[in-house]
Structure 1
Amino acid sequence: MSRQRVPKGKVFQKQDEKIIKTLQELEKNCSDDFLVSKFEELFPEDWVKIVKRYEAHERLTPEGKSHPMPHPRKYLLNKFKNYRNQYAKGEDLDEALNAINTTQPKFTEETPENIEDIIVQIKDKASFEKRIEAANKLGKFKCEQSITVLRGIVECDKIYDVRKVAYDRLKRFGCEVGPPLKDKPYIDREIQEKFLAIKSQVNETSSVDRYIKKFKSMFPEEYDIHLYQKKNQFKKWVENIVSNLPKIINM
């Protein structure tokens, strides 16, 4: 019997559109309770999906572990935050709704003015999230430099999600490119040696956050891979390694 997993993808579809339509039914400074109730009233099926996704996380997360999804009410309020702030400041939600429903061109055939800055971001070995953001930026501009950089990402980046974004953007450009392979399990056989090197650079009483900061600066690629693979368990993983390090004896 296969192991059960929490469903992937968006919890509910057309989120921005439904958030705006809910706000348009309410006063600008309405309470959280009114907002949640109105969303439940307008989109009952989506509210059920939010609750079910949360319950799946709760059910399938091992005891003592955490999961990334907040309580349904908090989850929904987080989704509303940006548009709610805009609404409170008097911004026209009809214009925002029209922008969402207006088809935008996928890309332009020109070179971005800030391409050098984007390339610097692409080279940030310590942040797969920044590299994904940069790949998406390049995906808006079909030019020789963008194509070259995106091909390099597909071939060389150590994180599958980054390679996949670059691949998708190249396919959208109409380029011939092979799909990236999924990541193999990453085994860092020298992780203790790395953390002993980090320990020699920090104080004996340094916090876990200090170790993480030093890990990022001394071993950016390894930091990035472990952060990507362990996600919200990353800090706990570092804490376990640090707590089991042998003492450094000063001669």
Structure 2
Amino acid sequence: MKQFETTLPENYEALKKQANYTSSWRDRLHAVEELSAYQHEKVIDLLKNRMQHDTVYPVQTAAYDALAAFGENVEKPAPARFDIIKNTDKIFLRVKKSLPKDHTVADFAAKLKRMRLDVYDAYEGDKGEQFMPWLEERWAKL
């Protein structure tokens, strides 16, 4: 059985902040991965929170994997079946209406990233390589 560190890492507060940073799923994933070496009560609580409440599935599963490796009794999260952020269409429509009529999907993506980095980042993390085709499809339907 793998041995884990049972103390908190020296940079725990920074990692905790990073794990909850809403505008970067990559930062959250990195923090979860780094914390997965520390089997400490505070880390376990933080990982359970990420597993249950993160908007991005790869972050949820990384937290789950760490908790399972610690021997915690946890259920693997299921990927979201619907929008991972409430009122996504309203947000997209607001962005689209703020642009000139002849804008492109690239213009739309850039404006979304500026106006709502949290939304852009969450879907980019959730969709991976399919993000731009997915975004273009949603944009075309608005």
Answer yes or no: same fold by TM over 0.5.
yes
Identical aligned residues as a percent: 27
Q: Is the 8 A contact 2:56 2:123 kept in 1?
A: no
Q: Give 1:183's match in structure 2, choosing from 75, 79, 82.
A: 79
Whole-Å Cα distance in 1 between the matches of residues 7 and 14 of structure 2? 16
Q: Is the 8 A contact 2:95 2:112 kept in 1?
A: yes
SS at match of 1:110: coil
Structure 1 counterpart of 2:29: 132
Displacement of 1:204: 5.6
Consecutive unaligned residues of structure 2, counting only runs of 5 or more, are none
Structure 1 counterpart of 2:17: 120
> Closer, same or farther in 2 for the Cα pair 1:106/1:201, shift >3 Å?
farther
Q: Which amino acid aligns with 2:52?
A: E
Q: TM-score, normalised by structure 2?
A: 0.72
Provide Cα deviations, 1:48-67, integer angstroms capped at 9, x if missing partner: xxxxxxxxxxxxxxxxxxxx
Provide Cα deviations, 1:166-200, integer angstroms capped at 9, x if missing partner: 122123233x3321331241147844432231134
SS at match of 1:108: coil
Structure 2 counterpart of 1:171: 68
Provide Cα deviations, 1:196-244, integer angstroms capped at 9, x if missing partner: 3113445666654443243245445543443244322322333344455
The answer to whether 1:148 aligns with 2:65 is no
Structure 1 counterpart of 2:109: 212
Provide Cα deviations, 1:9-35, integer angstroms capped at 9, x if missing partner: xxxxxxxxxxxxxxxxxxxxxxxxxxx
Greater RCO structure (CA 8 Å; 6+ sep) = 2
Structure 2 counterpart of 1:197: 94
> Closer, same or farther in 2 for the Cα pair 1:190/1:156, shift >3 Å?
closer
Q: Which amino acid aligns with 1:180?
A: K
Displacement of 1:137: 0.6
My pick for the range that moved more, 129-138 or 211-220, is 211-220
Consecutive unaligned residues of structure 1, counting only runs of 5 or more, are 1-104, 246-251
Whole-Å Cα distance in 1 between the matches of residues 101 and 13 of structure 2? 41
Q: Which amino acid aligns with 2:79?
A: D
Q: Is the 8 A contact 1:153 1:166 kept in 2?
A: yes
Q: What value does the CA root-mean-square deviation take over the aligned residues?
A: 3.1
Whole-Å Cα distance in 1 between the matches of residues 106 and 27 of structure 2? 20
